[in-house]
Structure 1
Amino acid sequence: MADTKSKSGSNSKKALVEALNGALADHLALYIKTKNFHWHVAGPRFRDLHLMFDEQAAQIIGVTDAIGERVRKNDEYTVTSIANIGAVTNIKDQDDVTISPDAMVAELRDDNKKLLERLEDVKSASEAAGDNATNGIVDEWIDFAEERVWFLNQTSK
């Protein structure tokens, strides 16, 4: 009986680490995309969008260290490289620097929604693994992502 329990606990921890690394990869990829749009936005709403994208990028990158440290506190390894991030993330690259501001806003809104789904996976996995620290802090990350979705959604109207 003890073997089954420890195997289940090990599987729960593995699922949590995979969810955390996925969230870390998504945050890093979304940071790069948001900065890309910050640098390349143009048009009548340039100033407002330029500033909003910069604020959102700062918030996104600000969460990455906490996520990485949650992985390490679980005695596991984080994503390690651009290739590793690319293999794990749900956020698609955007290399077109001429897309419209409206398309930028819509894409970031949709990507933040994908990030929210990943963070919900972290929430579920942390509950299953009994990791109360991760379970508590992920609520803040979810709130940040929900706020970004809200701002981007309102901006797109």
Structure 2
Amino acid sequence: MVATLTKPDNAVVATLNRQQANALVAYLNYKKYHWLTFGPLFRDLHLLFEEQGGEVFASLDELAERSLMLDGQPIADPADYIPAATVSPSQGELNPKAMLSEAIATHELIIGEMHVDAEVATAAGDIGTADLYTRLVQVHQKHRWFLKEFLTKGDGLVS
């Protein structure tokens, strides 16, 4: 028996909307870190935050378009992003260590949610969305890994 989606699954579209909102907030946080980083690792962190932020930004369209593929509605109004997100907007002045820690926590939150969201999609018979989450989890895991490397060595520069 082949499982097919015959109508939009509101639970799946809700996960896509939340992750779309999370992606935008995470991207904006990355831009903050990119602009405001400083110190002896400025160049490395400046470039890393830009690169990872760009990859997170690219997922916005994928998540929104997946909602549309399911006959759902993505988030479109800017005012609706913050309330829909579970990622918190970065606030205040941060040192590089705090920026890295905040970015790592964001990835951990998104990874955990996407594991659950993939299960929701699978239960709804939506292997396309489950596959999207599986692929994006790998991106977030790689980002987390790179960020954590700055904090785990005890080099006295950041950690």
> Normalization by structure 1: what TM-score?
0.88
Answer yes or no: is 1:68 the counterpart of 2:64. Answer: yes
Answer yes or no: is 1:13 the counterpart of 2:12. Answer: no
Secondary structure at the aligned position of 2:9 is classed as: helix
Which residue number in structure 2 is paired with residue 95 of structure 1? 91
Asked if the contact 2:8–2:71 (Cα under 8 Å) also holds between the matched residues in 1, the reply is no
Which residue number in structure 1 is paired with residue 22 of structure 2? 26
Aligned residues: 148
Which residue number in structure 2 is paired with residue 126 of structure 1? 121
Gaps of 5+ in 1: 1-8
Distance 2:145 2:91 in 1: 25
Asked if the contact 1:70–1:134 (Cα under 8 Å) also holds between the matched residues in 2, the reply is yes
Q: Tell me the CA shift for residue 12 of structure 1.
A: 8.4
Asked if the contact 1:12–1:125 (Cα under 8 Å) also holds between the matched residues in 2, the reply is no
Asked if the contact 2:7–2:71 (Cα under 8 Å) also holds between the matched residues in 1, the reply is no
Which residue number in structure 1 is paired with residue 34 of structure 2? 38
Q: Tell me the CA shift for residue 26 of structure 1.
A: 0.4
Asked if the contact 1:12–1:129 (Cα under 8 Å) also holds between the matched residues in 2, the reply is no
Secondary structure at the aligned position of 1:39 is classed as: helix
| The one of 130, 138, 146 aligned to 2:133 | 138
Distance 2:117 2:6 in 1: 16
Q: Output the amino acid matched with 1:53.
A: F
> Normalization by structure 2: what TM-score?
0.87
Which residue number in structure 1 is paired with residue 155 of structure 2? none
Asked if the contact 1:24–1:67 (Cα under 8 Å) also holds between the matched residues in 2, the reply is yes
Distance 2:37 2:56 in 1: 19
* 1:49-80 deviations in Å (ceiling 9; x for gaps): 00110010011011111111110011111112
**Could you say which structure has the higher helix fraction?**
1
Which residue number in structure 2 is paired with residue 59 of structure 1? 55
Secondary structure at the aligned position of 1:156 is classed as: helix
Distance 1:11 1:146 in 2: 32
> What is the percent sequence identity of the aligned residues?
26
